[in-house]
Structures are given as C-alpha cells and as structure tokens.
Amino acid sequence: MNMLEIDDLHVTVDGKEILKGITLSIPAGEVHAIMGPNGSGKSTLSYTLAGRDGYEVTGGHMYYNGEDLGALLPEQRAAKGVFLALQYPVEIPGVATLTFLKTALNAQRRARGETELDALRTLKLVRQKATALNINEDMLRRPLNAGFSGGEKKRLEILQMALFEPKLAILDETDSGLDIDALKLVAEGVNALRAPSRAMLVITHYQRLLSYIVPDRVHVLAKGRIVKSGGADLALELEESGYERVVEVA
Amino acid sequence: MSALALKTHPPGMFELDFARHAASLPGAGLAWLDARRRVAIAAFGKTGLPTRRVEAWKYTDLANALEGDLEPVSHFGGAVDIANVFGSKPVDEVVLAHGLVRHIEVSGGLEVADLGLLDEKSPAWIRDNLGMLAASADQPLGAASLALMRGGVAVRVQGAQTLHLQFSNPALGHGAVSNSRVLIVVEQGASLRLLESHSGEPGRQRLANLGVELVLNANAKLEHIRLQSDDANALHVTTIGASLARDAEYRALFAAMGARLSRVDMNLKLASEGARATLHNIAVLNGGIADITTVMDHAAPHTTSRQLFKSVVGGDGRAVTQGRVAVRKGAVKSDSHQLFKALLLSPRAEADAKPELEIFADDVVCGHGTAIGALDADALFYLRARGIPEREAKGLLIRAFLAETMEGFADEAVQDALAARIDESLASLEQSES
C-alpha cells in the first residue's frame, strides 16, 4: 500500500478550479518532488493535503495509509503523521517558541492516546534535536517566528519535523529565501529524516534544492495537472530547457 | 436651594434620592461636605442619567439599560464572600459590600478611613481632597457618586505599601443602586500597589456606581491593578479622577470581564512636569457592553502618557474604547501614545474605537492607532496543522493577543491570578461560540 495515494483530485479555491485532476502515488521510504512554474497549483496541493479551510475538494480522493484524508481536520491529520512545512511560516508574537512546540507535541500525543511530556522532558527532546539545526536556546525563548530571519524560520520548520516525526512530510518551497549555507543546513536536516517508514513530498520551483535532497521521482505540475513524471534527472532537464518547453511537449 | 427638576423614574432616581435623603447621608451637617454634595448633584443634573445623546456616552446608553426603579443601598448586613482573586492574601485589605465598608485590616504606613462614618473629627487630608476630582459635570456618574455617597474608603499612603480593595456585591432581593467613593492620597515619594477587585452575585438588576479619586503628590508612585468581574446582569460604572504632581508615576492595568454594561470613565491630569501615566485595559466579553473612556490631560511640559486597550469580543458583545488626549498650551515635549485593538470572535460582535487628539502646544509627540479584526486565519491554520485542536489554538492566539498588556505589572502571583481569571472568562467565551 502506498503511503499517499492521490486519485484524480480536483480542488477549487474561491470558486476557481486550481487543481484539475491530479493522480500521484508515493510509497513509504520514497522522496518525490513536485516542480512547476508559479501559479501551477503547487501550494494549493500542499494546503489541500494539510486540510486548510477554503480549499474545497470537488472531485477525486486523497488516501493516506488507506484512510480518506479529506474526512479529517487539520489537527487530526497532524496527529496521524502528516506534516506540512510552510513556505511562509507564520509569525505569532505573544507565544514563546518553546511553549508552542510543547503544546503541539503534546496535542499530537494526546490525540494518539500517548502520555504527554512534562516541561523538562520536552526541553531535553527539543534541545537534542535543535543542536543539529544550529538552533539555540535564545531562539526557542523568542516569540514564535517573530523577527526570525528567513533561514531561522525554515530551520524551525525542520526542527518541528524532527520533533513530531511524521510519516508523511510535505515541504512547500522550503528553499525559498535561503542562501546556500542555510539551504545546505536545511537539506541536511531533511536528509537525516529520510527513513524507510517515511514518505516525503518536496515542492519546489527550482532544481537547486534537489541537488541536496535527491528525489526518487520528479513530477512536473502545470495548470493544475501533472504533465510529466520521471527520475531525478528530470529536474536537471527542466533546469536546462525551462518549464515552458516541458509543458508544451506534454 | 433652587427646586430640582424631578424627572420621571428612572431618569430622576438620583435627584429624588438626593431630595429625600441628603440630610441623612454620611457626614450630613459637615458644611464642606454638604456644599460639595450640592454642587455635585447640580453637576449631575446638567445631563442626568446619560443617554446616547450625550456625546461621551454615545456608544453606551446607560439610561436605557435601566429596567426600572433601583433602591439605594444604605445598609447591608448579609454575608460577604471573601475570595482571594489576586492569589496570595495581601497584608492590608479593605472589604466592601455594595460599596459599604465591611472590614478594614491595615498595618502601619496606611491611614484608612470609612467614608460612611465621616464626622467633624475626620482628618484634614480627607477634607482637603474628597470630591475635588471625579465629580464634575463632564463625569456625571462620578458627580452622582459623590452627591449620594453612602460609603467607601479613604486611604493615605506613606512609605511603600500594598493594599487590596475588595468590592463584593452579594445578592439582593430587589433592584439596587450603590453610590460609593474611593479616595487615595499618595504622599510625596511614597508608593502604593493598589489591587482592586469587584465581584458580584446574580440577582435583580443592580447598578454599582463608584467614584475614585487618585491624588499623587510629587515623586509618588501608584500601581493600580483592577479586576472587574461583577455579575453578568449587573451595571457597573466607575468614574476615576487622577491628578499627578511633579515626577509622579501612575501605572494601571484594568480588566473588565463581567457586568452587562460596564464603563470606566477616567480623567487623568498630568499636572506637573515629569508626570507619567500608563494605562492598559483588557476587556473580555461575550455579550453586553464594556466601555472605557479616558481623557489624558497633558497640562504641563515633559509629561508622558501611554494607553494600550485590548478587547476580545464574542457573542453580541460590544467593546467601546474612547480616548482623548489633550495637550494644553505650554505643555511642550508632551509625549503620548494610544493604541486600541479589538478581536471580534463572532459575526455579531462589535468594537467601537474613538481616539481623539486636541493639541494646543508645539513640539509634542502624539501617536495613536486602532486595529479591529478577527483571529488571523493563517496563524490559526498553522497551529492546527501542527496538531493543536481548533479551540485550543484559538485560546492560544487570544492569550497571545492579550499577553503584552500584562507585561511588567505587579508580581508573578498577581499576574498568574489575573491570567487564570482571563482563562476562565475565555473558556466560557469559546464554549458559547462553538
């Protein structure tokens, strides 16, 4: 059984159809990349998988481990192991980062019927995962994402991924706004989480990220449809010839 | 004495009370007090009970909220529930029931007098101050609270002190109105942390009408934490008049979480150079009206005022925030800022915000801002996508919205106690929304 099975998915936002029949399967252990030009529906796909309000599924299905994702609330999807790293992580002044991490971690544990972690154990766990991502105590004490640099925000997304240990991770343009050093650090963090039991969907505009996170499959999304699929080489091909050509040929 | 124009009930209830009972009010016969009461009832009479036609009350129609005759409370002998709303019990405490002193427990450093027991032996500092603030025609309910004062408390502060004023409003079998006063005089260089709480039991309609005078002498400091969690059916009006002498500092955190209609009506005068005032207000309401209306009167150079009002409104509640900053001629280098924010949690919730500036001096810095909106959908999705259930996520965002208003006030115990009360209030708010 595939970890994620998307079948002829149609999605409408504000009355406009953005996804027009997407079919895609990702088995556990694989990393798939979705590439596409601006406006192709990449972010719509990620928000729909995570369950954001306003992204209406008007046709088709999304199955996660055989379960209909569309029937679950965003928080239920998270507790079951679906994680979305956002392109633009939200700033929330007034909520300390560590408090947020503890609240989210325990909410997921509670939903799964696991015991909650106390403050000390949470802190230990967070510290242990944070070091590898070069996230210090000071950052954890600051309000969530408030005043964080682009790189800090993305590292914090990856820290959450490491902390929550999802089964399906969706990374939405995690490379945007990162310089090469930050990109490498984030990619290392992601690669460390590759595992036979975990599937990943990496959404990106540029090939650059895929030099560091090498995918098993690459899919090209254009105008709400997957127009081409291939191996890791397809990303390089796109980089050389550009989206326009690939989309035309398809 | 000229004949008072007695209006029909309820608009004439204060005038009628005065006409009938002036001679038996506390301190009656003291010439200075009789005179001030007469001036006050005349000041009140200029508007009477305010309707929306009175500009300063245009969002809060008190006269129409009254359901009928309210009987003045001049005596209360029933049980009073004493709850430590601010966490640990402060050493010095005054308990009042329906504005009447029930119990005074103070150690050295504080002089405390029961305003229900004024006589010719009452000290000069009361005579010099009582009724000089919060009793003009601009603050008609404050004027009524002086004219009809049945009780209350006067406090004189030397050294560094903490005092808890605990107002309790137990159930009564009839519609009732209480008129009471608080006078706080902080002597030169002295400081007070004033904790003020208002709680109430359900019952017939009740109007708690309180007038508060805050006199800060040179270099005095007053930190004022106020929690109003009166019964959900009560009407609650507090008129505050404050005067700050040279280099005096007033810092206040008010929270309104109860009453069907509540109003804080403050006039604060920065009377001398270097005076500074900070006022933070929190309103959490699920219905009814919470109104805070202020005047920051910059009457001297180098004076500073800061106001931050945050309201969380659910159901068909309405938060009213009106702030006028007046900079008088010659009050150069005045520095003021006011920021009003409201979070509307239901389609029927409403917030009215009216900042005003009147500037008659050069070289001043006056800023203001207003923001009214719903919870941020991006933030809510972010938290939910991380596994935090919707209700918990909303609670987290609301607490985050309010957090900055509480920073730096009192100690951890007081802050925690206040945060716990806010959480209780939010819990009922969220439940009624879902």
CB contact under 8 Å between B388 and A104, yes or no, is yes
Instruction: Please list the residues that pair with B290 across neighbouring strands.
Output: B262, B319
Give me the pLDDT at residue B6, please: 43
Residue keyed to tokens 């460390």 = A192
CB contact under 8 Å between B384 and A92, yes or no, is no
CB B282 within 8 A of CB B407: no
Chain B contact set for A75 (CB, 8 A): 384-385, 387-390, 393
Question: Touching check for A148 and chain B: CB below 8 Å?
Answer: no
Give me the pLDDT at residue A165, please: 96
CB contact under 8 Å between B379 and A92, yes or no, is yes
Distance (Å, rounded) from C-alpha B145 to C-alpha A28?
Answer: 74
Chain B residues with CB-CB distance to A under 8 A? 376-379, 381-390, 392-393, 396-397, 399-404
**How close does chain A come to B349, measured CA to CA in Å?**
22
Give me the pLDDT at residue A241, please: 84
Q: Which of B158, B176, B164, B151 is nearest to B71 (CA)?
A: B176
Length of chain B: 434
**How close does chain A come to B378, measured CA to CA in Å?**
7
For B250, counting Cβ atoms within 10 Å of its Cβ (0-12 exposed, 13-18 middle, 19+ buried), the class is buried
Chain B contact set for A117 (CB, 8 A): none
Question: Touching check for A74 and chain B: CB below 8 Å?
Answer: yes
Distance (Å, rounded) from C-alpha A163 to C-alpha A122?
Answer: 10
* Sign (positive or negative) of CA dihedral A240, A241, A242, A246: negative
Chain B contact set for A104 (CB, 8 A): 383, 386-388
**How close does chain A come to B374, measured CA to CA in Å?**
15
Give me the pLDDT at residue B391, please: 92
Give me the pLDDT at residue B109, please: 86
Q: What is the mean predicted confidence (pLDDT) over B22-28?
A: 97
Question: Touching check for A202 and chain B: CB below 8 Å?
Answer: no
Give me the pLDDT at residue B85, please: 85
CB contact under 8 Å between A78 and B385, yes or no, is yes
Chain B contact set for A103 (CB, 8 A): 388, 392, 396
**Domain chopping of chain A, boundaries:** 4-249
CB B118 within 8 A of CB B151: no
Chain A contact set for B384 (CB, 8 A): 51, 73-75, 78
CB contact under 8 Å between A92 and B400, yes or no, is yes
Question: Touching check for A52 and chain B: CB below 8 Å?
Answer: yes
B317-371 pLDDT, tens digit each: 999 999 999 999 999 999 999 999 999 999 999 999 999 999 999 999 999 999 9
Output the average pLDDT for chain A. Answer: 94
CB contact under 8 Å between B397 and A93, yes or no, is no
8-state DSSP, B424: H
Q: Which of A11, A68, A72 is nearest to A42 (CA)?
A: A11
Q: What is the mean predicted confidence (pLDDT) over B232-254?
A: 97
Q: Is the pLDDT of residue B224 over 60?
A: yes
B189-199 pLDDT, tens digit each: 999 999 999 99
Instruction: Name the CA dihedral angle for A234, A235, A238, A239, rounded to a multiple of 10 degrees.
Output: -140
Q: Is the peptide bond before B10 cis (omega within 30 degrees of 0)?
A: yes
Q: In sequence order, what are the residues at sequence separation of 6 or more whose Cβ sits closer than 8 angstroms to the Cβ of residue B31?
A: none
Q: Which of B115, B279, B91, B285 is nearest to B210 (CA)?
A: B115
CB A178 within 8 A of CB A155: no
CB contact under 8 Å between A74 and B381, yes or no, is yes
Could you tell me the pLDDT band of residue B9, with boundaries at 50, 70 and 90? very low
CB B231 within 8 A of CB B206: yes
Q: Is the pLDDT of residue A249 over 70?
A: no
CB A187 within 8 A of CB A161: no
CB contact under 8 Å between B384 and A73, yes or no, is yes
Q: Which of B152, B165, B171, B175 is nearest to B224 (CA)?
A: B165
Output the average pLDDT for chain B. Answer: 93
B68-102 pLDDT, tens digit each: 879 999 999 998 987 788 877 667 999 999 999 99
Give me the pLDDT at residue A238, please: 86
Q: Is the pLDDT of residue A129 over 60?
A: yes
Find the closest chain A residue to B399 by CA distance: A94
Say which of A53, A94, A103 has its CB closest to residue B388. A103
Range scoring the smallest mean pLDDT among A175-184, B3-12, B102-111, B294-303: B3-12
A191-233 pLDDT, tens digit each: 999 999 999 999 998 889 999 999 999 999 999 999 999 999 9
Residue keyed to tokens 């919870």 = B375
Instruction: Name the CA dihedral angle for A144, A150, A151, A152, rounded to a multiple of 10 degrees.
Output: -10
Q: What is the mean predicted confidence (pLDDT) over B142-150?
A: 98
Say which of B377, B378, B389 has its CB closest to residue A107. B389
Question: Touching check for A174 and chain B: CB below 8 Å?
Answer: no
Q: Which of B202, B15, B26 is nearest to B99 (CA)?
A: B26
Q: Is the pLDDT of residue A62 over 70?
A: yes
CB B335 within 8 A of CB B306: no
Chain A contact set for B399 (CB, 8 A): 94-95
Q: Which of B98, B150, B158, B156 is nearest to B127 (CA)?
A: B156
Q: Which of A173, A84, A165, A14 is nearest to B382 (CA)?
A: A84
SS3 A30: coil
Chain B contact set for A108 (CB, 8 A): 386-387
For A141, counting Cβ atoms within 10 Å of its Cβ (0-12 exposed, 13-18 middle, 19+ buried), the class is exposed
Instruction: Please list the residues that pair with B283 across neighbouring strands.
Output: B256, B311
Chain B contact set for A107 (CB, 8 A): 386-389, 392
CB contact under 8 Å between A89 and B382, yes or no, is yes
Question: Touching check for A185 and chain B: CB below 8 Å?
Answer: no
CB contacts < 8 A (A, B): 77
Could you tell me the pLDDT band of residue A58, with boundaries at 50, 70 and 90? very high
B375-386 pLDDT, tens digit each: 999 999 999 999
**How close does chain B come to A166, measured CA to CA in Å?**
11
CB B345 within 8 A of CB B374: yes
CB contact under 8 Å between B377 and A73, yes or no, is no
Helix, strand, coil fractions of chain A, as percent rounded to 5: 40, 30, 30
**In B68-157, where do the E strands start and end?**
71-72, 93-97, 100-105, 110-114, 151-157
CB A36 within 8 A of CB A10: no
Give me the pLDDT at residue B342, please: 98
B47-60 pLDDT, tens digit each: 999 989 899 999 99
Q: Fill in the amino acid letter for B132.
A: M
Query: Which residue, among B383, B394, B402, B405, would best test binding to A if mutated, counting the most A CBs under 10 Å from its CB?
Result: B383
Residue keyed to tokens 């505009």 = A205
Could you tell me the pLDDT band of residue B413, with boundaries at 50, 70 and 90? confident
**In B60-205, where do the E strands start and end?**
71-72, 93-97, 100-105, 110-114, 151-157, 160-169, 176-186, 191-200
Give me the pLDDT at residue B8, please: 42
What dotted CATH number matches A4-249?
Answer: 3.40.50.300
Chain-centre distance for alpha carbon B148: 18
Chain A contact set for B396 (CB, 8 A): 95, 100, 103
Q: In sequence order, what are the residues at sequence separation of 6 or more whose Cβ sits closer than 8 angstroms to the Cβ of residue B411?
A: none
- Percentage of residues in chain B with pLDDT exceeding 70? 96
CB contact under 8 Å between A84 and B381, yes or no, is no
Could you tell me the pLDDT band of residue A250, with boundaries at 50, 70 and 90? low
CB contact under 8 Å between A73 and B404, yes or no, is no
SS3 letters across B208-224: EEEEEEEEECCCCEEEE
SS3 A208: helix
CB contact under 8 Å between B396 and A95, yes or no, is yes
